Chains A and B, each alone.
Chain A
Amino acid sequence: MHTFDLNLEHITKVEGSAALELRVKNNKVEHVHFKITEHKRFFTEAIKGKPIAALPQLLARICGTCSNAHLLASIEACEHALGITPSEQTMLLRHLTIHGLIIRDHALHLYLFSMPDIFGKDAFLDFDENDPVEHQLLHDAFAIKKAGNELAMLVAGRSVHALHPTIGGFLHFPEKEGIAESLKKLEAIRPAVLRLVDVFKNAPFHFDRNTNFMALTTDKFRYLDGWIETSAGEKIPEEHYRDHVERIVLPYSQASAYKHNHDSYMVGSLARINLAKDRLHPRTKESLKDALALFPSTDIFHNNLAQAIEILHSIDDAMEILSTHTFTPEPIIKATPKAGVGIGVVEAPRGTLYHKVIIDDKGIVQEGEVIVPTGQNQVNIEEDIWRLTDELLAKDTPKETIAYEIEKLIRAYDPCMSCAAHFLKIDWY
């Protein structure tokens, strides 16, 4: 019979940090608190009284990793509040911006955070350059990250807190030479992404559990528009999100958690691929038949595989957009402020991201709300840790191994504590 009193200080190789308090008594988990403990920076309070034009760049600072997703969600919310409809070209440039983010961010997570677990290493940089497989993966990782980063720079000006996307359009437009260069680099990294998909298709970690999945989807596999689709077959319009995402206050966490229909749910790559794999780019589908046959999946570790698939999709879709369009300077669409509410919903790398803004007739922000993916996954993560630990205790697993298995599971969710938290330490009782 195990009764643990163990303190594991920090979960590493995740975006930011948070805390987990786990109590085990007589071989049973008594409670799991996944604490999001980042000191609040009070963005939703700070926006009050600011002009709407200042909002997207300020809210991008919620998170460096997901900044361009916050930027695009906030821009959409502001445009809805102001009654602005972006041009077709603007939407294409925004799709390219998020594709750049997906490529870079998923690659960072898969290679630098998750892959060391598969190869039994402490760090990705510990991979052996004299081993042909590890040597290849080292080079693949930085080439993929770089191509994603450069796509974001080409279109949005920066991969972090991008400068070009703004309310009503873009401030700068990609030039032919840059597009040609990007197309070459994106094509060049395709084989590396196919190798990445293979690594996660064959990864030995599995944790199966039924949960609900939710994602913003449309008739194409894109991250910026559509309706909120659930695995129960619901299709919810963006503007009705608040009736379906129920806020839960966890007193031990600095962030809010959420449920849907009184139940936990999961957002992110696994949800997107489960719900919309048939809408992926045709070239991606052609290249990844075996991997895609594994979906829909209830294996949480397939979130990693789903991310690898999304990297290829983002490359293929970005290449199609870049090779079939020319981009010409367009004026920014302006609007006279009026009192209103705007909602912006995007699929950030880690899942559905909601921004809401309320402005007065002078365009001054009265209130706002931001719901991040990690907050939505929080209850699901806690429930999974609970079950995983109970299963490992039943097999008499040593507590150090349990701690490592929990870390691996948390990493598979790819939580972002900068969006929601900081300082992850595990307190065992």
Chain B
Amino acid sequence: MSDPSTPSTSKIRIGWFSFSCCEDNTVIMTEVMNDHWQEWKKLFDFRHVRVLKSHNVLDELDIAFIEGAVASDTQAEKVREIRAKSKLVVAIGACAVVGMPSGQRNFFTEGQKKEIEFLVARFGALPKVLKLADVIKVDAEVGGCPIDPDKFLTAVNTLVKQFQQG
């Protein structure tokens, strides 16, 4: 991984972000890494991947992978910031792509909603949990709960090719 203060010009700058979800796709990404870490080490500048490193920088990203649904204004604001700083945004996993199962409270009965409303209010959550595309423009999606490792890898390779061909 390169020094975070000096963006690498030759490597593809990657961000990996998790919002409201179980982070199953982060686990899958680290599993796909078992077979591809040497190649990824050469190809990618992991600029903002909290699961992998401490010094993360959110400046200019080539590809931002975002898992999880958006459950609060703070999260929505962060997602917009990532969008503004990324050439491509990929929604990763069911919670980002369709908002579920993180958004299950959207479908609660009135009685269930009453049970949880004090907690939703106390922690500043949105009245309705949103999928990523409800908040920002999404360029590509890899669905699934969790994502299928092969489909994820195909998506990554397609995006890498796009960048390599300019």
Contacts and interface: CB of A to CB of B under 8 A. Distances in A.
Contacts of A38: 20
Given A16-B18, A124-B52, A142-B35, 9 more contacts: A39-B72, A39-B75, A67-B22, A112-B51, A142-B37, A146-B34, A149-B31, A418-B23, A422-B20
9 contacts: A13-B51, A15-B23, A39-B123, A48-B112, A61-B24, A61-B145, A63-B22, A67-B22, A149-B31
A84 B141 CA distance: 41
B93 to A, nearest CB: 9
Interface of B: 1, 4, 18, 20-28, 30-31, 33-35, 37, 41, 46, 50-56, 71-72, 75, 101-102, 104-105, 108-109, 112, 115-116, 119-120, 123, 125, 145-146
A37 B71 CA distance: 12
A320 to B, nearest CB: 25
Contact of A125 (B4, B46, B55, B102): B46
Given A62-B22, A142-B33, A422-B20, A40 B27 contact: no
A407 B31 CA distance: 25
A42 B22 contact: no
Nearest to A104: B31
B51 A46 contact: no
Contacts of B145: 61, 161
Given A38-B20, A41-B104, A146 B35 contact: yes
A41 B101 contact: yes
Interface of A: 10, 12-13, 15-17, 37-43, 45-46, 48-49, 58, 61-65, 67, 104, 108, 112, 116, 122-126, 138, 142-143, 145-146, 149, 158-161, 254, 407, 418, 422
Contacts of B34: 142-143, 145-146, 149
B103 to A, nearest CB: 8
Please indicate which of the listed interface residues A17, A41, A142 has the most CB atoms of chain B within 10 Å of its own CB. Answer: A41
Contacts of A42: 104-105, 108, 116, 119
A160 B28 contact: yes
Nearest to A66: B22
B127 to A, nearest CB: 13
A48 to B, nearest CB: 7
B101 A58 contact: yes
A179 to B, nearest CB: 20
A123 B53 CA distance: 5
Contacts of B20: 38-39, 41, 422
B27 A160 contact: yes
Contacts of B52: 13, 112, 123-125
Top 6 nearest A-B pairs by Cβ distance?
A64-B24, A123-B53, A39-B71, A146-B34, A64-B22, A12-B54
B71 A418 contact: no
A145 B35 CA distance: 10
Contacts of B37: 125, 138, 142
A45 B50 contact: no
Contacts of A123: 1, 46, 52-54
B33 A160 contact: no
Given A45-B112, A61-B145, A145 B53 contact: no
B124 to A, nearest CB: 9
A159 B31 contact: yes
Contacts of B33: 142
Nearest to A147: B34
Contacts of A138: 37
Contacts of B41: 125
